[in-house]
Amino acid sequence: MSFSDKIRTIYQEQLNAISEAGIFKKERFIHSRQAADIEVEYPEGAGLKKVINMCANNYLGLSSHPEVIQAAHEGLDSRGYGMSSVRFICGTQDIHRELEARMTEFLGTEDTILFPSCMDANAGVFEAILTDQDVMISDRLVHASIVDGIRLCSAMHDTFKHSNMDHLESKLQLHSDKRLKVVITDGVFSMDGDCAKLDEMVALCEKYDAMLFVDDSHSTGFIGKTGRGTHEKFGVLGKIDIITTTFGKALGGASGGCVSGRKEIVERCRQKARPYLFSNTIAPVVVSGVLKVLDILSGNTERRDKLERNSDYWRKGLTNAGFVLKEGDTPIVPVMLFNAKLSQDVSNDLYNEGIYAIGFFFPVVAKGQARIRTQISAGHEIHHLDKALEAFNKIGKKYDILGRSKQEIIEMYGL
């Protein structure tokens, strides 16, 4: 069948609608390694511009770490490039199982299973472990990949208001007749940078005989005293039944993810999770890199400590400048602008000042909640943060939003 004019017109109209709504995403091409200092081509065809990256998930600054690169080279040499098979046919190497064991030890769980990505882990896990006799109760701000996983599962689904423990408890009571109950949350919420109240959630789950699921993608490697994640921060190591996380952010930033938790859950995924069964697992070169990342993190807490110091410095700098921030204590620091166009204008002006930070607006965040999401890295030095603060100050003055309240900014620019 040819791609007829009729078909083409339908797609063109859809794409035009995205453009007209002002939400057409344009990619910026990075010509260097991922790091605090990058070289960017934007718009397409423009000359390269050196900018400071303030929006990567490269929390520990390990994306281009020389030891990780070296380990990846060695993995490539010793285990080859690809597996050309799914895990259960002939796609499992010794290093895959080694990484699973190392993640189990790192996260303090019973067992771990790798997935091609955390998106795949979240898409596959619920269907693998639940049936229509069960219920999933999720925080209303969980990541899109969890929403997709929930959609693929036949269990009943309900939600609770963001981080509202009274509301969660009422839902656990409402669904007390269900065979299995799973409470679902992000560990750190990616758009707001706040943490789930895991200590209270564990208590509620114990009280109502429910399992607890945590996606710790924006936490593994740096939240908690030794970087184990939000369960370490809240003193509930060993009490989270299902953790999903990614290797695509702090842990080297390449790709891949996993489900880690109770051994029966992990085995159920190995037998039933469709993204695991019907897709190649993580390439050996990436596995080798992640193993080195775990070596680096197990040696000392230097990088997560530096990240914590950098995040404090950045948050204080923006607060002193007079920006409205989302409260929190993670490396995700959202600068609230409320108006979608303002978030795009500020982002563009920052770029011209040599600062790469992206504006987010509806539907990525709620209407009237547009923002610049800044993300701090252990790869940042104080001079990076000072230069970025200088640029934020300059642009903040230009739009006269420094020292203004949420209400005042909304009155000036609308929602």
Partner 1 sequence: MSEEMKDIVLEYVIEEYLEDEDEEISYDTPLISGGIVDSFSMVSLKRFLENRYNISIPDDLATPEAFDTVTKITVLVDGFLK
For residues 160 and 222, which CB has a smaller minimum distance to partner 1 in the complex? 160
* CA dist 159 → 21, 72, 137, 147, 184 (Å): 29, 41, 5, 11, 9
- Residue 208 CA to residue 78 CA, distance in Å, equals 49
Residue for token pair 């511009």: 49
Q: Which range, of 30-38, 152-160, 236-244, 288-296, touches partner 1 by CB under 8 A?
A: 152-160
The answer for residues whose C-beta is within 8 angstroms of residue 285's C-beta and 6 or more apart is 72, 75, 76, 79, 81
CB of 158 to partner 1, least distance (A): 5
For residues 159 and 255, which CB has a smaller minimum distance to partner 1 in the complex? 159
347 catalytic residue (yes or no): no
CB of 137 to partner 1, least distance (A): 9
- Residue 29 CA to residue 145 CA, distance in Å, equals 25
Q: Which range, of 123-131, 156-164, 240-248, 263-271, touches partner 1 by CB under 8 A?
A: 156-164
For residues 156 and 203, which CB has a smaller minimum distance to partner 1 in the complex? 156
CB of 341 to partner 1, least distance (A): 21
Q: Is 175 in the site for partner 1 (CB under 8 A)?
A: yes
For residues 86 and 147, which CB has a smaller minimum distance to partner 1 in the complex? 147
- Residue 61 CA to residue 336 CA, distance in Å, equals 25
Three-class SS of residue 365? coil
225 catalytic residue (yes or no): no
CB atoms within 10 A of CB 1: 4
Q: Which range, of 70-78, 94-102, 154-162, 239-247, touches partner 1 by CB under 8 A?
A: 154-162
For residues 299 and 363, which CB has a smaller minimum distance to partner 1 in the complex? 363
Among 69, 156, 203, 277, the residue binding partner 1 under the rule CB under 8 A is: 156
- Residue 312 CA to residue 347 CA, distance in Å, equals 22
**CA-closest candidate to residue 212, choices 109, 330, 329:** 109
H-run or E-run covering 4: none
Task: Name the DSSP class of 197.
Answer: -
Residue for token pair 């995040």: 311
Q: Is 279 in the site for partner 1 (CB under 8 A)?
A: no
One of 171, 181, 218, 380 is an active-site residue; which one?
Answer: 218
249 catalytic residue (yes or no): yes
Q: Is 146 in the site for partner 1 (CB under 8 A)?
A: no
The residues in 326-385 that bind partner 1, with binding defined as CB under 8 A, are: none
CB of 119 to partner 1, least distance (A): 18
Q: Is 178 in the site for partner 1 (CB under 8 A)?
A: no
The strands making up 156-160's β-sheet, listed across from edge to edge, are 111-115, 257-261, 242-246, 211-215, 181-186, 135-139, 156-160
Q: Is 157 in the site for partner 1 (CB under 8 A)?
A: yes
CB atoms within 10 A of CB 117: 19
One of 249, 292, 306, 384 is an active-site residue; which one?
Answer: 249
| Residues annotated as part of the active site | 190, 218, 249
Q: Which residues here bind partner 1, judged by CB under 8 A?
A: 140, 147, 150, 156-159, 161-162, 171, 174-175
